[in-house]
Amino acid sequence: MPEWLAQARQGVTDLVGDQAAEWDLAGLLPTETLRTLGKLGLLCAEVSPAYGGVGANSSENGALTAHVGSLCSSLRSVMTSQGMAAWTIQRLGDARQRQEYLPRLTGGELAAVAFSEREAGSDVTALTTRIRADGDTVVVDGRKTWTTVARYADLIVVFGRYGDEGAAVVVPAETPGVTVRPVPNPSGCRAAGHADVDLDAVRLPASAVLGGGGQQLQLLVTTALSYGRISVAWGCVGILRACLLAAGSHAGTRRQFGRPLAEHQLVARHLAELMAAEQAATRVCEHASRCWDERSPEMVIATVLAKYIGSTEAARGAAAAVQVLASAGAQDGHVVARAYRDAKLMELIEGSSEICQLILAQHAVAQSH
């Protein structure tokens, strides 16, 4: 493990301490904690040192993401969001935009990425948010829903229609016409700052449109989501690790009928399945990250697979962990109670399990001609 990664893991462990339960119950992360991690470059660790970043590769950032995910999925969601914003700017932006925005993302500012709308979740073609050119400015109108981190964000990367094609535009949250309304009581990642974002005649310099706009909307969204998916997948590895630790420790010490729970075979099976799930999710994430690091085109499908396996295994594994801990873990804020709710949300976002299945099935067909 590189020195920076060992230090970063310890740093996050110290910073989170025993507060994850409190954050979950309050539905709020301390902004100062987020800015501290942001200034260390750890919220988007793959950004190059040229922009003040750590310059991690996908495998290293994955290890960090899993570690944060094992402590607090809300905080891990902030990493996913910030990293996705940085990746989107890196890919879609021009040299001047990378120079303008990336140092801000490694300098303590927080970023959200807004895709979903009321009538447009998985179906990107149904997006109605419009980015309209007007002289040397653009005007953005739309209603975004369920934007992770929007509540804390200084910058919101908004995807919308631009003429007949698409564009992503960087919207400072303070711009007149931007209204951020936190989603009340989300069922998972409760402190991740999910919010609806209204954009009413939001006027920005044309230089805020990444790469000048006019790219295909689906390709834009696919590009951005790929980062989100690998990050969520690693976060799910973290959820599984936290569950394995909690269930293993409880089953090894709590005694019923004169012996530890782990010696009751039906309970032992839960532990075996949890361990298998954690290992399977880890390996499939390692493979996907290796594809990213080698810039292999297989990264696209390997990432969907990692997200699919990570999230479904985490949801199943967290349910097993709650079962093993029973009343000891059946209280909001408890690590397995959080895992149970957070993991379920991971099956819904960044491409639901069903959307991932469709992509995998299409791939299987294309490969079998």
Partner 1 sequence: MNTHPEETLQPTPDTIRRQILDFLQERIKTEVAVDRDLFASGLVNSMFAMELVVHLEQRYGIAILGEDLKLDNFRTVERMASLVLRLLDTPVADHA
Other beta carbons less than 10 A from residue 321's beta carbon: 30
Site stretch for partner 1 (CB under 8 A), options 111-119, 188-196, 236-244, 292-300: 292-300
The smaller minimum CB distance to partner 1, of residues 48 and 323, is found at 48
Site stretch for partner 1 (CB under 8 A), options 169-177, 183-191, 205-213, 328-336: 205-213
Asked if residue 259 binds partner 1 (CB under 8 A), the reply is no
Please identify which residue in 212, 248, 260, 333 interacts with partner 1, judged by CB under 8 A: 212
Identify each DSSP E strand in 163-292 by its residue range: 165-172, 178-182, 195-205, 255-256, 259-260
Pairing of strands 178-182, 195-205: antiparallel
Angstrom distance (rounded) from CA 2 to CA 285: 19
Angstrom distance (rounded) from CA 205 to CA 117: 24
Site stretch for partner 1 (CB under 8 A), options 21-29, 78-86, 143-151, 220-228: 220-228
The smaller minimum CB distance to partner 1, of residues 301 and 322, is found at 301
Please identify which residue in 91, 254, 287, 344 interacts with partner 1, judged by CB under 8 A: 91
Give the pair of three-digit tokens for residue 38.
């942001």
Size of the site for partner 1 (CB under 8 A): 37
Give the pair of three-digit tokens for residue 206.
């044309």
Give the pair of three-digit tokens for residue 207.
């230089």
CB of 238 to partner 1, least distance (A): 26
| Pick from 202, 196, 204, 144: nearest CA to 176 | 202
Site stretch for partner 1 (CB under 8 A), options 29-37, 138-146, 219-227, 278-286: 219-227
Asked if residue 297 binds partner 1 (CB under 8 A), the reply is yes
Angstrom distance (rounded) from CA 262 to CA 269: 9
Site stretch for partner 1 (CB under 8 A), options 69-77, 130-138, 233-241, 359-367: 359-367
Other beta carbons less than 10 A from residue 145's beta carbon: 20
Asked if residue 218 binds partner 1 (CB under 8 A), the reply is yes
Asked if residue 95 binds partner 1 (CB under 8 A), the reply is yes
Asked if residue 165 binds partner 1 (CB under 8 A), the reply is yes
Asked if residue 369 binds partner 1 (CB under 8 A), the reply is yes
Categorise residue 195: left if φ over 0, alpha if ψ from -120 to 50, beta otherwise: beta
Q: Check if the beta carbon of residue 68 is closer than 8 Å to that of residue 333.
A: no
Contacts to partner 1 by CB under 8 A: 50, 90-95, 97, 165, 210-212, 214-216, 218-223, 226, 294-301, 304, 359, 362-363, 366-367, 369
